[in-house]
Structure 1
Amino acid sequence: MKKILSIGITVSLLVMLLMGCSSDTGETAGSKGADDVVTLRLAHNLNEQHTVHLALAEFGRLIGEKSEGNMKVEIYPNAQLGSEEQVLEQLQVGGIAMTKVSAAALTPYADGYNAFTLPYVFADEDHFFTSMESDAVKELYQDTHDKGFIGLTYYTSGARSFYTVDKPILHPSDLRGVKIRVMGFQSQTDMMQALGGTPVGMPYGDVYTSLQSRVIDGAESNETALTNGKHGEVAKHFSYDEHTMIPDIVVISSKVWDSLTAEQKAILQEAAVESTEYHKPLWNEAIAEAVKEAKKDMGVTFHEVDKGPFREAVASMLDEYGKKYPEVKSLLDSFKALE
């Protein structure tokens, strides 16, 4: 009897957690009762100090304000409801309303997202912002509706550069024979090979010890990896080649989205865009603080780089991916026109 009771309680808890969108009266998200409050559950895998979490909290606050209390967002940080992949799967069936996911992780769902994993797609940060706020990206957001979700907005995660243990990477030739940890996407492997380096795929959590033991000679990410991941304790050179700018995307379940009224959808879209603007200065502050800490407390040297030779070495990649994925070519052409 105790075993049956335990199972029943567990199932009940799971149902309560996984209901992505509900109202205080137990009706659906699109209900029109005067006393209904639509509750949207948002889950992600970052801590509560991360700039993206702070932006998502502002997103939730804005939704409550704009809806005059008729909508609210409950946020579950720190992977409380699962990993990024697990949360996205729950979102697709309507179990969770919203989440934040790297654009690179969306490549299996829409070919166009491959564009964001390619090197030197954006000329600089301003070009990145202009491109991400273009009609072409808004159309891309809708391409995954039949896959169970759509995009609402983006948050910058900065530019990714190389950081290494004992020498800077100032030219592609500096990568010859150098083992660099890359994310597990084909485009990252292709990029490293085009630059002459040796790509090594491994979980992010293994990077620190792998740098220590020289299983790898370096990695690539933004400046916060030096401090948040403590990689600056081992890797003493950060080279600003800025090869990729891969945004985070805020997505919402198609089932939840379709259940909302036109007014509710407008509130979400307005709040999403405003949260993106809220996030930009937070990110700049986090980068400035990471650089200051890495220099002062870790002894990391930051190197400016002539990006020209790097761009030339990987230029053919954009053509190759454009031929393979028509959606990528369309986006790249659109971004190019915005330079």
Structure 2
Amino acid sequence: MKRKSILSILILAITLLGCGADNKTKTIRLGHGLDVSHSVHKAMVKMGEDLQERSGGKLNLEIYPSQQLGTERECLELLQIGSLDMTKVSVGVLENFAPKMKVLGLPFLFRDRQHSFDVLDGPIGKMLLNDGEKYWLKGLGYYDAGSRSFYTMNKPIEKPSDLEGEKIRVMESVTAVNMVKALGGSPTPISWGELYTSLQQGVVDGAENNPPSFYLSRHYEVCKYYSLDEHTVLPDVLLIGTYVWNKLNEQEQKWLTESVKESVKYQRILWAEAEEEALREVQKAGVKIFRPDKSLFAEKVQGIYEGYKDDAEIYPLIKQIQETH
């Protein structure tokens, strides 16, 4: 997809400005970058249906998928100025707007999937969602985005040294860049919508993402090696601009919050099913799956943690997360 200029997106978003309907119905417009077959989009559709039912038709959710309103970064910028109502972004992108969120992007931070849920659904996760309000971004909930692993075109990544000399696409995330550097690779930030072509043209040698994203993006057509080192557990975050949130009355905020909770529960079920399907289908398409020794990768990134020892905000958070049971 051709990258839209921020100006054209802004004009479109202002034209579609949410919460501007009549007294009977308020329309909340949600833009995101995922395909309609993705579990997150399906959960959003369910959220819209639930919201309409809870509110008796007073709140309506209108969804614009597949980067129709711009990249994740662009949608966040539109939320901040009140020209878009809601969006979904990866924590990796959000850390550029709400700095405390970068703690969730640290490699091998969580012991397992349940540990990540315990943290995100508990006090730490709630604090991080609320912390974005000072940047005009209110977090509403976390969608499961599984674990991210490396996929490559020319060779499998079975140990950190296999990344040496490899150009790996990463999100626009300082933490992701530092992780790939620590593992010996050459991090290359590229937008998600441009990645397939970049792989085809050899701009990068590989990328890193979760199984459903690898499958639904059809990147498996180019990359035939998938190494499940599961280096990061980066949730997707559902956000609403504070400009829009503050225009909702207390009852409307409650309806939306309850619908988000149900949407999150539903998406996590869909996600587990999608992960199994993705791994099954990419193997059918000729992708070779590898399960390397994760401890080799975890050892190489310890320097990233050392770099936060003098950070009075992030380092205590790291300790709290590691001690959560």
Whether the TM-score (by the shorter chain) exceeds 0.5 is: yes
TM-score (norm 2): 0.88
The one-letter code of the counterpart of 2:321 is: F
Q: Choose the corresponding residue for 1:306, options 293, 302, 313.
A: 293
Q: Which residue of 1 aligns with 2:305?
A: 318
Q: Which residue of 2 aligns with 1:282?
A: 270
**Correspondences of 1:35-184 after superposition (within 5 Å):** 36-184=24-172
Change (3 A) 1:295 1:315: same
Task: Give the CA deviation at 1:176.
Answer: 2.8
List alignment gaps of at least 5 residues for structure 2.
Answer: 1-9
Task: Give the CA deviation at 1:81.
Answer: 3.0
- SS of the counterpart of 1:323? coil
Structure of greater Rg: 1
- SS of the counterpart of 2:308? helix
Q: Which residue of 1 aligns with 2:22?
A: 24
Alignment check: 8 A CA contact 1:91 1:253 kept:
yes
Alignment check: 8 A CA contact 1:226 1:233 kept:
no
Q: Does 1:327 align with 2:313?
A: yes
TM-score (norm 1): 0.85
Q: Which residue of 1 aligns with 2:4?
A: none
- SS of the counterpart of 1:21? coil
Q: How many residues align?
A: 316
- SS of the counterpart of 1:310? helix
Partners of 1:12 and 1:207 lie apart in 2 by 26
Task: Give the CA deviation at 1:299.
Answer: 0.8
Q: Does 1:197 align with 2:185?
A: yes
Alignment check: 8 A CA contact 2:13 2:84 kept:
no
Alignment check: 8 A CA contact 2:92 2:175 kept:
no
Partners of 1:204 and 1:179 lie apart in 2 by 15
List alignment gaps of at least 5 residues for structure 1.
Answer: 1-10, 26-35
Alignment check: 8 A CA contact 1:169 1:175 kept:
yes
Higher deviation after alignment, 179-188 or 119-128: 179-188
1:177-212 per-position Cα deviation (integer Å, ceiling 9, x unaligned)? 333222232222221222122323334445445544
Q: Percent identity?
A: 40
1:88-112 per-position Cα deviation (integer Å, ceiling 9, x unaligned)? 2222232222111221222232221
Task: Give the CA deviation at 1:281.
Answer: 1.7
When the two chains are superposed, the root-mean-square deviation of aligned CA atoms in Å is 2.4
Partners of 1:206 and 1:16 lie apart in 2 by 26
Partners of 1:238 and 1:48 lie apart in 2 by 24
- SS of the counterpart of 1:242? strand
The one-letter code of the counterpart of 1:299 is: G
The one-letter code of the counterpart of 1:305 is: P
Task: Give the CA deviation at 1:125.
Answer: 0.9
Partners of 2:151 and 2:249 lie apart in 1 by 48
Change (3 A) 1:95 1:165: closer
Change (3 A) 1:216 1:41: closer
Alignment check: 8 A CA contact 1:158 1:245 kept:
yes
Change (3 A) 1:93 1:286: same
1:310-336 per-position Cα deviation (integer Å, ceiling 9, x unaligned)? 111112212313534x33223322211
